[in-house]
Amino acid sequence: MILAIDIGGTKFSMAIFDGDRMVRRESRATHAEGGREWMVQQIAGIAGAWRGEYPLERCGIGFGGPVNFAAQRVVLSTHVGGWQDFDLCGFVRDAAGVPAVMDNDANVGAIGEAEFGAGRGYSPLFYMTLSTGIGGGIWQDGRLLRGADSYGGEIGHLTLRPDGPECLCGARGCLERMCCGLWLERDYGKSARELMQDAAFVRGYVVDLAQGLKAAIMLLNPARIVIGGGIAKAGDRLFLPLREELRRQITNWSAARIDVVPAELGDDSVLYGALSLARNPR
């Protein structure tokens, strides 16, 4: 059996898979002040209980921040303190008693949707997580395209507005700064879920969002774009105006398809991807 862990900006989830079937799942809100210390203690508690109940073989992890895949180290988290250069795999190996492999959550979500969700049969596939933050994963011919240093696909920090507000990354006007859940709430005093109910707001919002996705379409000509994360749950309220705006922004001579759909696995894209990554680290 395989242990899957999804560490996000506002919550973390853990699951047990028996073959392709999820047989156990636990999700908890993160405790921002508790930082890394608090979260790894929670993970150790759950993993410690489960290792006595299930014959675990391996563990896969999706982490909500940049990961150096070759070195298997967390680079940092911009949302929760204390993660810099943390050996998360080593920690989980000790807590769960099985070898672990990790990548950033957008890459792992891309694997999940490519193998089990809305991306099945589509290559290249671009996956974007639209949640507390914004991340991206590029999937082609059965594997991830991570780039030379594991920083490929970081669509969240494309610049939309060079003179825009400062992003947590230090640059200005990034796609993440303009469109992610964390900043929507800070800028507008309402949750992304509430804002997505407001058609007038969404019409403006998709202009920024489409600018980011346009870059992925022009660079990669993906067979499909799958968007996961909490904001993607708005469904047609978001996706209909988004597709319309993309059609408007993308140059006429490009016959690149505009196939943008919500994730099929909902909150579990990363958990399914972690299952696949644990079986076949690639």
Interface contacts to Zn ion, rule CB under 5 A: 157, 167, 169, 171, 174
- Shortest spacing between CB 154 and Zn ion, in angstroms: 9
Nearer to Zn ion, 92 or 134 (CB): 134
Nearer to Zn ion, 124 or 173 (CB): 173
Rounded CA gap, 269 and 110, in Å? 8
- Shortest spacing between CB 172 and Zn ion, in angstroms: 8
- Shortest spacing between CB 171 and Zn ion, in angstroms: 5
Q: Regarding beta strands 100-104 and 58-63, do their DSSP bridges make them parallel or antiparallel, or are they unpaired? A: parallel
Helix axes 236-249, 199-220, angle to 10 degrees: 50
CA distances from 23 to 3, 5, 15 (A): 10, 14, 7
- Shortest spacing between CB 39 and Zn ion, in angstroms: 23
Q: Regarding beta strands 67-68 and 73-74, do their DSSP bridges make them parallel or antiparallel, or are they unpaired? A: antiparallel
Nearer to Zn ion, 90 or 165 (CB): 165
CA distances from 97 to 47, 88, 94, 170, 275 (A): 9, 13, 5, 38, 16
- Shortest spacing between CB 175 and Zn ion, in angstroms: 8
DSSP letter, residue 165: P
Nearer to Zn ion, 14 or 155 (CB): 155
Nearer to Zn ion, 157 or 233 (CB): 157
- H helix count then E strand count, the chain: 9, 12
